[in-house]
Homo-oligomer: A and B are copies of this chain.
Amino acid sequence: MKIVALAGGVGGAKLAHGLAQILPPEDLTIIVNTGDDFEHLGLYISPDLDTVCYTLAGLANPDTGWGRVNETWNAIANIEKLGGPNWFRLGDQDIATHIERTRRLKEGQSLSQITRDFCKAWGVRHTVLPMSDQPVRTIVETDEGDLPFQEYFVHRRCQPRVKGFRFDGVDSAEPTAGAREAIQSADAIIICPSNPWVSIDPILRVLFPNSYPLTPIIAISPIIGGQTVKGPAAKMFAELGINPSALAVAEHYENFLTGIVVDSVDSELAKQIRIPTLVTDTLMKSNADRARLAQETLHFIGNLP
């Protein structure tokens, strides 16, 4: 079964890693949100792409969910000492990724080419693709004005109240060639448990600007018992006047969703969902959890009516 997984950061990376533990490299393509990308300290930073790649490579920091394991912080500590911006924490190993990616982009290489080379260097065998090689920039519209995503997410710690979202550049951004081909030959598309508003929507807007494919599309709810494991998805639903729940996730994707996976704590709520629903434990605390959830999701897809 050929699978395309759509992923944002931490939650998406975990399920992508689960799928990678089960599927052979040729059967899994992970298409990653780049709406969070930004330039900082002169470096081009792709937070979601790095989180997915580091996680697949076994290089991710298991405590933070972002950045590298066994990291040191000497560069950022010295930038701070010189009075430079320190709100975005860049580890010494991680900074190498941004420096070398920035160097290659300036040489004219595409983000997807660079990602392919980096994956090879890191021993990632499954295909990881940015959603686009053209810039898309997620802007969070808040009661304190429009904020570029990282400014909202990291610098302002998601405190401003959300009024809406905008994806600058999305109308002219093309899916990467590999993403297009993977979608065409996919037996199913899995929407990882990432933030629907700011991680998945930008990918969907780029990949499916006009209409959705006939391929089954299955989502794993990032909302468990009304909350998110990490990140502001539940807060965003609430601030937009929607009760945050697995049901709200199903409704967010209702125009095209074939089935949904929700957590066992939401088994009662699941009865209100009108599409095929798998109720299981979706919290991924260990590598084994990731593989089990991936396996159960694939099994669910295989048995869809």
Do the beta carbons of A42 and B106 come within 8 Å of each other? yes
Question: Contacting A93 at CB < 8 Å: which of B74, B85, B91, B117?
Answer: B74
A97 surroundings in chain B (CB, below 8 A): 78, 82
Q: Tell me the complex Cα distance, A122–B83, Å.
A: 11
Q: Tell me the complex Cα distance, A192–B122, Å.
A: 47
Do the beta carbons of B121 and A96 come within 8 Å of each other? no
Chain B nearest Cβ from A178, distance in angstroms: 20
Q: Mark A74-90, 1 if CB is under 8 A from B, else 0.
A: 11111101111100000
Do the beta carbons of A42 and B103 come within 8 Å of each other? yes
The answer to whether the Cβ of A22 comes within 8 Å of any Cβ in the partner chain is no
Do the beta carbons of A42 and B84 come within 8 Å of each other? no
With contacts A72-B74, A75-B95, A99-B75 known, is A81 near B121, CB below 8 A? yes
A74 surroundings in chain B (CB, below 8 A): 71-72, 74, 91-93, 96
Chain A interface size, as a band, is: 20 to 34
With contacts A42-B99, A42-B103 known, is A93 near B78, CB below 8 A? yes
SS class of chain A's interface: helix, strand, loop or mixed? helix
Q: Tell me the complex Cα distance, A92–B99, Å.
A: 12
A102 surroundings in chain B (CB, below 8 A): 42
Do the beta carbons of A75 and B96 come within 8 Å of each other? yes
The answer to whether the Cβ of A254 comes within 8 Å of any Cβ in the partner chain is no
Do the beta carbons of A92 and B75 come within 8 Å of each other? yes
A122 surroundings in chain B (CB, below 8 A): 81
> Which of A42, A43, A99 has the largest number of chain B CB atoms within 10 A?
A99
Top 8 closest A-B pairs, CB basis? A78-B96, A74-B92, A84-B100, A92-B92, A79-B96, A82-B100, A75-B96, A75-B92
Interface residues of A (CB under 8 A from B): 41-43, 71-72, 74-79, 81-85, 91-93, 95-97, 99-100, 102-103, 106, 117-118, 121-122
Q: Other CB < 8 Å A-B pairs besides A78-B100, A79-B96, 9 of them?
A: A41-B100, A41-B103, A42-B42, A71-B74, A72-B74, A75-B75, A83-B100, A84-B96, A84-B99
Contact sample, A vs B, 27 pairs, CB 8 Å cutoff: A41-B100, A41-B103, A42-B42, A42-B43, A42-B103, A43-B99, A72-B74, A72-B92, A74-B92, A75-B75, A75-B99, A77-B93, A77-B96, A78-B92, A78-B93, A78-B97, A78-B100, A79-B96, A82-B96, A82-B97, A82-B100, A82-B117, A82-B121, A84-B99, A85-B103, A92-B92, A92-B95
